[in-house]
Structure 1
Amino acid sequence: MRNVLLIAELSLREALRKRLVLILLVLTALFVGFYLYGILRLQHALDDRAISAGLDVRPEGGRRGLTGASVAFSAIFGMYLVYFLGSLMSVLSTVGAVSGDIESGVMQSVVSRPVSRGQLVVGRWLGFSIVNVAYVALLSAALLVGVRVITGFTSPQPFAAVALVLVAVLLLTSLTVLGSTVFSTLSNGIGVFVLYGLGFTGGILSTIGQFAATPVLVTLGNLANTLMPSNALWLGASYHLQPDYVLRLNELARGANPFISTTPISAGTVVWALAYALLALVLAVLAFRRRDL
């Protein structure tokens, strides 16, 4: 265990040395500031319309109806961007976790030390998981708190939503580490993004199948979501971000929006995603033990 924590610490220091964390903080601050400025302008526009109509600018209990839905949708879309950026971060930061050291020749000197290959893989996974999870958690908090301060809108179950997004981040991190022990850095990045696209395609197919009452498309979508449940986790998160009046509005649209869901995610899907992430890590350890350097 000590070696695992040591490798994780070295991975964190490597991220700091490469200024990965600094770059992320700067870009994240720009993203959050830009997005919240848009929310602020939206809030000012809604306030002006309320004043013109002789209504309360900040009604007790918050805005409802179409004006309230516009704020809620803005918060939900902002969290979708957080999910997307977290997914991108999970792949790009981890894509060379093992393969990068092999290609640079550093791995030969590392494995000659009293550290097993399994400990190396788990330590790498742990270090990058800490970076990715912390990044998404802080980004989610900044966005949701910012929306709350500006508009007064609070998502019904923000902690449950963020937790599901973090599960997706862990899953993508584990799959990327697995690919890094088997493929080259470039091939690994392409492969994981294809899997990510598969999950997104599954959500689109399920939405079209439900809207058009086509069971075959729904089945294909469910199969894709099983093979790559990252998008299913986001859809589950989106359910917890919607107040009741937005849920009713989306139900009237018969689920025509592929980016949000009107039904909660099943416990089985969450368990499968966690088991999938653990299985990917185990396979990464086994694959690296067998790999010739």
Structure 2
Amino acid sequence: MHNALLIAELSLREAVRKRLVVVLLLLTAAFLGFYLYGVFRLEGTLDQRAREAGLDGRSVNGAANLSVMYAAMFGMYLVYFLGVLMAVLSTVGAVSGDVESGVMQSVIARPISRAQLVLGRWLGFTAVNVVYVALVGAALLGGIFLITGFVPPAPLPALALILLAITLVTALTVLGSTLFTTLANGIGVFVLYGAGFAGGILGSIGTFAASPTLTTLGKVANTLMPTNALWLGASYHLQPDVLRQMGEMTRGANPFFGGAPLASGMIVWAAVYALLAVLVAMWQFSRRDL
């Protein structure tokens, strides 16, 4: 474990040396500023309309504040999506990149096993990705609160599910990095992510149209790639009662927001899935012929 933690530390230093962290901070600051400025202008418009209607104010969790609620929801969806992109792009060459460049030959000559190398890579990149998404999510929700006074009902459970999704994507990308070339790995993980998103759409259509076949296909896709199911579970915790009631009236027709809490079995499966991906990656790279 000591060697794995050492590799994780080296992965963090590598990210800093390549200025990945600096670029991320600058781009993220631009994204947050752009999005929160839009929320600021939205809040001003809603206040003006309330005054024109002769109202002293509007309820933060009422129907008059739906626009702000949706802004918070879609903002967190963007954080989730950016986190997935970050997880794939930062980790896509975790192992395969060193193999293709020839660096791996000198690394494995050190007193460290291949399994420890893979574990350390996963720990290092997971730490970067999880901390990044946690900070961006907290900054977005904190900014929306300062501007509008709105806070989602349960932001911490929602953020925890998003971080679990990022952990899973990072694990699968590390696994792919031990099996395929860097380019093939990136394409494969994005295809899996697309399968999970398609599962959410199929599940929503199946629920709305009362189609058992589509509902089953959606469950299969979500089992194969639970990331979208984790986001839907997170979005449920972000919705006030008024949004949940609207979701019940439309019978879950919106594929972006969940209408029910995520089953605990799916949460456990996502965590086990990530662990299995890392273990298989460690085993696969240990027996791989370089």
Separation in 2 of the partners of 1:266 and 1:213?
20
Map of 1:104 onto structure 2: 101
Q: Indicate whether 1:235 and 2:232 are aligned.
A: yes
Separation in 2 of the partners of 1:214 and 1:246?
24
* 1:63-78 mapped onto 2 (5 Å cutoff): 63-65=61-63, 67-78=64-75
Separation in 1 of the partners of 2:110 and 2:24?
32
| Offset of residue 262 of structure 1 | 1.1
Q: Indicate whether 1:203 and 2:209 are aligned.
A: no
SS in 2 for 1:75: helix
| Offset of residue 281 of structure 1 | 0.2
Map of 2:55 onto structure 1: 55
TM-score when scaled to structure 2? 0.99
One-letter amino acid of the counterpart of residue 282, structure 1: L
Map of 1:223 onto structure 2: 220
- Report the count of equivalent residues: 290
Contact kept? 2:61, 2:242, Cα under 8 Å: no
1:23-57 Cα deviation digits (max 9, x unpaired): 00000000011000110010000000011111123
Map of 1:26 onto structure 2: 26
One-letter amino acid of the counterpart of residue 172, structure 1: V
1:177 corresponds to which of 174, 194, 204? 174
Separation in 2 of the partners of 1:153 and 1:243?
10
Contact kept? 2:198, 2:218, Cα under 8 Å: yes
Map of 2:110 onto structure 1: 113
| Offset of residue 63 of structure 1 | 4.9
* 1:116-127 mapped onto 2 (5 Å cutoff): 116-127=113-124
| Offset of residue 69 of structure 1 | 1.4
* 1:243-282 mapped onto 2 (5 Å cutoff): 243-282=240-279
Separation in 2 of the partners of 1:280 and 1:211?
34
Q: Indicate whether 1:151 and 2:145 are aligned.
A: no
Separation in 2 of the partners of 1:20 and 1:76?
27
One-letter amino acid of the counterpart of residue 43, structure 1: E
Separation in 2 of the partners of 1:39 and 1:95?
34
Separation in 2 of the partners of 1:171 and 1:203?
17
Map of 2:13 onto structure 1: 13
Separation in 2 of the partners of 1:286 and 1:5?
18
Contact kept? 2:76, 2:137, Cα under 8 Å: yes
Map of 2:138 onto structure 1: 141
Separation in 2 of the partners of 1:151 and 1:100?
45
* 1:78-93 mapped onto 2 (5 Å cutoff): 78-93=75-90
Q: RMSD in angstroms over aligned alpha carbons?
A: 0.8
SS in 2 for 1:234: helix
Separation in 2 of the partners of 1:181 and 1:191?
13
* Structure 1 segments (4+ residues) deviating >3 Å: none
Map of 2:37 onto structure 1: 37
1:99-157 Cα deviation digits (max 9, x unpaired): 00000000000000001001100000000000000000000000000010101100000
Contact kept? 2:115, 2:285, Cα under 8 Å: yes
Separation in 2 of the partners of 1:2 and 1:282?
17
| Offset of residue 256 of structure 1 | 1.1
| Offset of residue 219 of structure 1 | 0.3
TM-score when scaled to structure 1? 0.98
Separation in 1 of the partners of 2:81 and 2:61?
28
Map of 1:3 onto structure 2: 3
Structure 1 stretches lacking a partner, 5+ long: none
Separation in 2 of the partners of 1:41 and 1:205?
35
